[in-house]
């Protein structure tokens, strides 16, 4: 019999890594018995955005699942969520740590993590899938803060790295034609959290360069409002980059577009941009590379695993003075500004090099395309998940 998989969310990560990834599996939408609590917290969070930075909000809205019993389901597959019961077999894919937390290391209270760890280590949890080696390593760091060696050993037995799948969106021949017919270099930035993801730095650098380099264009997709991570963006800087958006004739600005439109733009673009202060992964990098569009990124979190100087450009942030490490939600205003200047300087150098000598761009595009083909095969991903689902089904007696 084909496996029956319970899914709670249809968010973008769920669509990218869970929903319909095994063709013969039957996917069933399940409920969360704490949904009313989560709904209430979301409403409160709209009025008081600061609550969204608390662990209480994260646990109530994002990181736990208390599903009713589903006797016919073989396995529940969650993204970032710990199942709070032992009524169904389950697996989880996670992006940073599992269980997740929002607290600064020096003040963290591990009470919730300690309560959830036995659920993860139980036989009901069949597998824990890290999206990257960085996430795998960060998970071991988190466990080292409160778990004993036997618990860590058992977690390592459940855990593996499984990179997200990515379909090829263009052919090698189309890549060659795109760069052979290039008259001006087309850049593409995609990211709603425009300060955290380096969008503000992108706009400032191009504003400095456009008089010297007229042969480029930039498509910029990202909202300056409506996202709690834009707390990085103070009012003065927001006004500055709004002025750039309003007056730049080299810029095509969109507050938001569909993912289908993003992919269409990526196929037309020559260079992608994600000079992020912090990004647990970066789906847009995969989509650009699969479109024959090499990317400029920082070396933060998992980004060096999916980008490098052969298939793109890496901004070195290792010299940044960041006491909070990867916990970017806790950077001070001074740390953000210092980090911003570091990114902007290296981004300007990279873009200047591209505009001065665009001849090797096609070669990088082919390397990025082949990297996707080798490391993010949907077929390999499907096979791995299928094996896990069948294993869970055998536990279920099917």
Strands (E), the chain: 4-7, 26-29, 64-65, 75-79, 82-83, 90-94, 125-130, 159-161, 185-190, 216-221, 251-254, 271-274, 295-298, 313-315
The pLDDT-based confidence of 194 (bands split at 50, 70, 90) is confident
Whether pLDDT at 239 is above 70 = yes
Q: Residue 59: what pLDDT? A: 66
* Least confident piece of the model among 9-23, 38-52, 69-83, 302-316: 38-52
Share of the chain above pLDDT 90, in %: 54
Q: Global pTM?
A: 0.89
Position 246 pLDDT exceeds 70: yes
**How confident is the model over 6-32, as a mean pLDDT?**
92
The pLDDT mean for the chain works out to 87
- What is the pLDDT, as a whole number, of residue 15? 94
Kindly report, residue by residue over 344-389, the tens digit of the pLDDT.
999 999 999 999 988 889 999 999 999 999 999 999 999 999 999 9
What integer is the mean pLDDT of 25-47?
79
155-192 confidence digits (pLDDT tens): 999 999 999 999 999 999 999 999 998 989 999 999 88
Tell whether the model's pLDDT for residue 305 goes beyond 80. Answer: yes
295: tokens are: 């990317």
Equal fold, 4-165+377-396 vs 172-375: yes
Distance, CA of 195 to chain centre: 15
- Closest to 325 (Cα-Cα) out of 144, 108, 143, 105: 105
- Please give the class, per CATH, of domain 4-165+377-396: alpha beta
pLDDT higher than threshold 70 for residue 228: no
Q: In whole angstroms, how far apart are CA 206 and each of 148, 183, 243, 355?
A: 51, 18, 13, 11
Percent of the residues in the chain that have a pLDDT greater than 70, as a whole number: 87
Are the C-beta atoms of 51 and 28 separated by less than 8 Å?
no
Instruction: Assign a CATH topology to domain 172-375.
Output: Rossmann fold (3.40.50)
Domain edges within the chain: 4-165+377-396, 172-375
Above 80 in pLDDT, residue 52?
no
Residue 195 tokens, joined: 């300060």
Q: CA Rg, the chain, in Å?
A: 22
pLDDT class for 70, splitting at 50, 70, 90? confident
Helical residues (DSSP H) of 254-360, grouped into ranges: 259-268, 283-289, 303-306, 333-356
**How high is the pLDDT of residue 105?**
46
73, 28 in Cβ contact below 8 A? yes
How confident is the model at residue 131, as a pLDDT? 96
- pLDDT tens-digit readout, 257-298: 999 999 999 999 999 999 998 888 889 999 999 999 999 999
């Amino acid at each position: 019999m084909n496996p029956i998989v319970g899914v709670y969310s249809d968010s973008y990560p769920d669509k990218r890594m869970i929903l319909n990834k095994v063709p013969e599996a039957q996917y069933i939408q399940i409920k969360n018995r704490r949904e009313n609590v989560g709904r209430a917290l979301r409403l409160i969070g709209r009025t008081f955005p600061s609550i969204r930075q608390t662990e209480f909000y994260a646990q109530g809205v994002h990181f736990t699942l208390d599903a009713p019993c589903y006797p016919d389901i073989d396995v529940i597959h969650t993204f970032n969520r710990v199942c709070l019961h032992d009524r169904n077999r389950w697996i989880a894919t996670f992006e940073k740590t599992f269980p997740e937390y929002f607290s600064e290391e020096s003040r963290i209270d591990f009470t919730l993590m300690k309560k959830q760890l036995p659920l993860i280590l139980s036989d009901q949890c069949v597998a824990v899938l890290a999206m990257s080696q960085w996430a795998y390593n960060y998970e071991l760091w988190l466990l080292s803060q409160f778990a004993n060696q036997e618990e860590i050993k058992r977690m390592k037995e459940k855990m593996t790295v499984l990179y997200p799948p990515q379909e090829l969106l263009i052919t090698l021949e189309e890549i060659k034609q795109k760069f052979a017919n290039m008259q001006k270099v087309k850049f593409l930035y995609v990211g709603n959290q425009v300060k955290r993801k380096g969008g503000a730095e992108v706009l400032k650098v191009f504003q400095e360069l456009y008089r010297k380099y007229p042969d480029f264009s930039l498509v910029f997709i990202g909202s300056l409002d409506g996202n709690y991570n834009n707390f990085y963006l103070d009012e003065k800087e927001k006004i500055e980059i709004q002025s750039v958006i309003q007056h730049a004739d080299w810029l095509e600005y969109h507050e938001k577009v569909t993912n289908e439109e993003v992919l269409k733009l990526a196929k037309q673009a020559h260079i992608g941009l994600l000079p992020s202060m912090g990004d647990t992964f970066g789906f847009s990098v995969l989509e650009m590379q699969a479109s024959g569009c090499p990317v400029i990124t920082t070396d933060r979190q998992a980004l060096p695993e999916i980008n490098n100087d052969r298939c793109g450009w890496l901004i070195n942030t290792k010299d940044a003075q960041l006491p909070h490490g990867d916990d970017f939600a806790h950077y001070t205003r001074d740390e953000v500004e210092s980090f911003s200047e570091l990114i902007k300087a290296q981004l300007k150098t990279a873009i200047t090099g591209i505009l001065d000598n665009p001849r090797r761009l096609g070669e990088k595009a082919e390397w990025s395309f082949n990297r996707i083909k080798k490391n993010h095969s949907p077929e390999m991903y499907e096979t791995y998940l299928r094996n896990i689902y069948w294993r869970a089904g055998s536990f279920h007696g099917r």
